[in-house]
Amino acid sequence: MDALYLETNSVIQQVHQRVAQLENVNDQAAAATLESAIVQQLETVASNCDKLDLMCENQPVNRKKYAKQLVEQLRYDCDHVKVALSVIQNRLLMDWKKKNEREELLSRRFTPNEATCIYLDDAAAVHNSKLRSVHKNVDSMIDTGRSVLENLRNQGFSLKGIRTKVLDIGNHLGLSGTVMRFIERRSDEDMKILFVGMLVTLLIMYLFYRLWRG
């Protein structure tokens, strides 16, 4: 179980790095490649968690509970990355659409008799469509985040005390020092991703507000 746990944790670390790279990508093709790799790795994490669940059933009774909690922590990490990925994807999509619209507008040739009102109507329709799509994505993100937090609370974890609890779990399972260091480092990175995700979400909400107010 230790080997599969370490492997899954390593995949999570790679996903965190790729998500950070995705935030700074300007090329759409490169972003698509990164997104595909991230999605595949998240699927690997989910599959490994299913295998770890089966391994937990073979653990002694006094260790089974702690083993399951470790697996739940991995699932939480996976869901957390999915939320962050969704936020970044929405931001990049909006940026690229705006860029394409600007390029299309600059390259368009206008004629003296062109019906300008048609383009205004089209622009309004596109604007409303974007707002509906954004609202839907934000609602989906909120639901996902609520589900993750509810699952975390049911397992008896809290963000403030997660490092101590996970380390205590590791001690009960007799994990190696390497595994413990991985767990400790991941806890710090989780907090960083949480705060980054919160800041990005607030920024997006502010931009939506400015866009809505015109």
Kindly give, in sequence order, each residue whose CB lies less than 8 Å from that of residue 78, ignoring residues fewer than 6 positions away.
12, 42, 45, 46, 49
**pLDDT tens for residues 124-157?**
565 566 566 656 666 665 666 566 566 556 555 4
**pLDDT tens for residues 162-213?**
556 655 665 555 555 565 566 566 666 767 777 777 777 778 777 766 766 6
Measured CA to CA, the distance from residue 161 to residue 190 in angstroms comes to 13
Q: What is the largest CA-CA distance in the chain?
A: 82
| Residue 71 falls in which region: left (phi positive, over 0), alpha (psi -120 to 50) or beta | alpha
Measured CA to CA, the distance from residue 3 to residue 35 in angstroms comes to 27
Within a 10 A sphere around the Cβ of 187, how many other Cβ atoms?
Answer: 17
**pTM assigned to the model:** 0.47
pLDDT at position 120: 46
**pLDDT tens for residues 5-42?**
788 888 888 988 988 888 888 888 888 898 899 999 99
